[in-house]
């Protein structure tokens, strides 16, 4: 089956998340638009195959294999026939109230992050949330939560500047009314916020997964034609998607450690979108959005390969250079450590939490792509550097909701990641872990 790539201008996200292009001098042309027939309503199938039911698409009920499964080369399994509905049975809407067994089984699957982060958007081309009362109520709930607890929440009001307040309170809601990529990304972020307080709410979980996929799919279509008309919503959607993917890291199981590649690769693609859209914006750019772009350009401008590293980052880099002779590797490590060093300087200077949080979110957008490749290869020095990144997060996570734990999993994201990385390192690497362990208050454990 052909795989579709999520194009992000000069770089693109491969939706298999196995490979990611690095910046090139020659831009990759956008994927040609594929005409698709308009979706039409259809009568729900009660006896369709399990795969079509899971994907919520019309099943033609052909046996032994339906047309959809035959087209995708997938196994087609029909549920056992039922003679009647029990008094407690009812047709399931798009957002079931509870499916605890579904959640628990998925977390025990061989690839637990596959459910959190879609690996192939082409498998979701037919995803459509049917119009229903359940959908309207869920979207109202997500919109209300976004306004009351994220946009107008007390923590947001006291820690961000006026320009960012204008962006989140005025620009994002207006963009959501016209651009589905921003709307769906806002819904996915709001649902992720709700899951912090009630991680077992499978209605919200199902909604988050659906809207996250829809946001990625719509973003892919918009990125194929970035111009002055859609540069702003594409950038805003990238920011919301990246923020959501960061928050989703807290949900991933770490019993068997795997680096957070989905977040890192989404961030790399989001960065490519930002830089391409920045070149496409028009002089009539809104002041709040100009501030948004300039703030990320400011971060990039301050990041320099030749800046001096403070301890403990300089000590880590010295150890790495003794073992790694590759110039490309050394550059990747140095630039990444310099960016982490810059965040620590902000914290030490007493700067507000929000700018540091914004730099945390921008981390995969700005660091060298080669460092992300080293993390994917599970290079142990790369994991040590990644632990230092989470050491920054551990210093501000008490005041940032997307870094915090949940009721059933109270450990914060940074603490979980640092502990998991430590299990991958032998004794010779442990001295380099002292600083992140100290920042996460784990040095005595």
> How many Cα neighbours within 13 Å face the side chain of 253?
15
Phi, psi of 294 (to 5 degrees): -60, -35
For residue range 241-295, what is the model confidence (pLDDT) as tens digits?
999 999 999 998 898 899 999 999 988 888 788 777 777 666 566 665 666 666 6
Mean pLDDT of the residues in the chain: 76
Contact 103, 202 (CB under 8 A): yes
pLDDT of 159 strictly over 50: yes
Q: Cβ of 278: how many Cβ atoms within 10 Å?
A: 15
CB-based burial of residue 120 (10 Å sphere; 0-12 exposed, 13-18 middle, 19+ buried)?
middle
- For residues 264 and 117, the answer to whether their CB atoms sit within 8 Å is no
pLDDT of residue 328: 94
Looking at the DSSP bridge assignments, the partners of residue 14 are 5
Q: Check pLDDT > 90 for residue 231.
A: no
Provide the token pair at 258: 């795997």
Q: What is the largest CA-CA distance in the chain?
A: 74
Whole-number Cα distances in Å, 254 to 168, 259, 303, 321: 33, 9, 32, 30
> What is the reported pTM?
0.71
pLDDT tens digits, residue range 338-350?
999 989 998 998 8
Any idea where the domains of the chain sit in the sequence? 130-302, 304-439
Q: How many residues in the chain?
A: 445
Cα 273 to Cα 27: distance, rounded to the nearest angstrom: 12
Q: What is the dihedral of CA 240, 241, 245, 248, to 10 degrees?
A: 70
* 408 or 423: which leads in pLDDT: 423
pLDDT category, 101, cuts 50, 70, 90? very low
Q: What is the pLDDT of residues 287-319, one digit of tens each?
A: 656 666 666 665 555 545 567 889 899 999 999
pLDDT value of residue 153: 62
Which 8-state DSSP code applies to residue 148? I
Contact in structure between 412 and 442 (CB atoms under 8 Å): no
Angle, CA of 247, 251 and 256, to the nearest 5° = 125
More confident residue, 439 or 281: 439
d(CA 290, CA 57): 41
Q: Do 20 and 372 contact (CB within 8 A), yes or no?
A: yes
Break the chain down into helix, strand, coil percent, rounded to 5: 60, 0, 40
- Nearest Cα to Cα of residue 386 among 320, 328, 445, 324: 320
Q: What is the pLDDT of residues 328-340, one digit of tens each?
A: 999 999 999 999 9
pLDDT at residue 433 greater than cutoff 70: yes
**316 is written with which tokens?**
């880590």
Q: What is the pLDDT of residues 28-58, one digit of tens each?
A: 344 444 444 444 444 445 578 877 877 777 8
Which residues have CB under 8 Å from 385's CB, separation 6+?
Answer: 316, 333, 336, 337, 340, 371
């Amino acid at each position: 089956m052909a795989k579709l790539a999520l194009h992000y201008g000069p770089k693109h996200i491969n939706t298999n998340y196995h490979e990611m292009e690095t910046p090139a001098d020659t831009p990759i042309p956008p994927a040609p638009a594929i005409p698709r027939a308009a979706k039409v309503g259809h009568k729900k199938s009660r006896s369709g195959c399990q795969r079509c039911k899971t994907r919520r698409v019309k099943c033609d009920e052909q046996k032994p294999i339906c047309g959809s499964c035959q087209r995708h080369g997938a196994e087609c399994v029909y549920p056992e026939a039922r003679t009647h509905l029990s008094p407690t049975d009812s047709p399931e809407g798009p957002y079931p109230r509870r499916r605890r067994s579904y959640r628990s089984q998925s977390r025990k699957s061989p690839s637990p992050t596959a459910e959190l982060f879609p690996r192939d958007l082409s498998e979701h081309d037919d995803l459509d949330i049917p119009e229903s009362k359940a959908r309207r109520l869920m979207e109202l709930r997500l919109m209300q939560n976004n306004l009351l607890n994220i946009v107008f929440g007390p923590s947001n009001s006291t820690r961000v500047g006026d320009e960012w307040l204008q962006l989140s309170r005025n620009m994002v809601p207006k963009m959501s009314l016209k651009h589905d990529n921003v709307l769906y990304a806002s819904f996915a972020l709001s649902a992720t916020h709700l899951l912090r307080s009630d991680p077992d709410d499978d209605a919200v979980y199902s909604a988050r997964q659906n809207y996250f996929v829809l946001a990625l799919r719509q973003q892919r279509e918009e990125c194929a034609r970035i111009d002055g008309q859609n540069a702003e919503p594409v950038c805003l959607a990238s920011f919301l998607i990246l923020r959501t993917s960061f928050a989703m890291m807290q949900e991933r199981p770490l019993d068997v450690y795997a680096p957070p590649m989905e977040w890192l690769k989404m961030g790399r693609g989001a960065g490519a979108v930002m830089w391409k859209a920045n070149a496409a914006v028009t002089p009539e750019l809104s002041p709040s959005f100009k501030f948004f772009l300039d703030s990320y350009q400011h971060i990039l401008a301050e990041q320099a390969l030749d800046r001096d590293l403070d301890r403990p980052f300089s000590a880590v880099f010295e150890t790495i250079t003794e073992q790694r002779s590759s110039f490309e590797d050394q550059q990747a490590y140095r630039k990444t450590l310099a960016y982490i060093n810059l965040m620590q300087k902000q914290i030490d200077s007493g700067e507000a939490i929000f700018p540091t949080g914004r730099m945390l979110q921008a981390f995969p957008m700005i660091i060298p792509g080669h460092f992300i490749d080293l993390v994917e290869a599970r290079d142990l020095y790369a994991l040590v550097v990644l632990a230092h990144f989470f050491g920054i997060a551990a210093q501000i996570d008490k005041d940032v909701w997307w870094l915090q734990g949940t009721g059933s999993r109270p450990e914060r994201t940074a603490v979980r990641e640092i502990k998991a990385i430590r299990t991958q390192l032998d004794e010779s690497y442990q001295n380099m872990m002292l600083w992140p362990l100290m920042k996460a208050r784990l040095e005595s454990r």
